[in-house]
Homo-oligomer: A and B are copies of this chain.
Amino acid sequence: MPDPDVIDLPNFLPYRLAVATDAVSGRLARRYREEFDLSIPEWRVMAVLARFPEISANEVAERSAMDKVQVSRAVAQLLRSGHLDRRADAADRRRTMLSLSPSGQEIYRRIVPMARAYEQDLFARLSDREADILMQALVRLSQP
């Protein structure tokens, strides 16, 4: 019977969640880095732009759970490595419209199977029902 005055870290939800994310993100980050020389923020930007081409940096931020500073830095790096194209918005010259360059599309095309396979590897540890409940629980925990 657990002592109510002492917290058992391995059973403490925020800790367990952080440990799981460290493990899952860590392995994935290593693959992005080794196989594609991308950081996770860079990958997120590419993933958003693959799904929503020609959007602004701010819209990328909204769709990737990153702030505008993170996006700005990831975009700068992706421009350096040639995976992104950027053009000024004629209607509002503060905004810049972003999209994957041909090289970015090519890399993205190669990332997708790896990312899917990795995700499948994770889901293989769970039954379908457990996976559903997990995904839904994570959404609930994300709410403010």
Interface residues of A (CB under 8 A from B): 4-9, 11-25, 28, 40, 44, 47-48, 50-51, 63-65, 109, 112, 115-116, 118-119, 122-123, 125-126, 129-131, 133-144
Contact = CB atoms under 8 A, between A and B. Distances in A.
B115 A12 contact: yes
Interface of chain A: mostly helix, strand, loop or mixed: helix
A23 B130 contact: no
A119 B12 contact: yes
A20 B125 contact: no
Give the top 5 A-B pairs by smallest Cβ distance, nearest first.
A21-B21, A20-B138, A125-B140, A134-B137, A20-B141
A6 B116 CA distance: 10
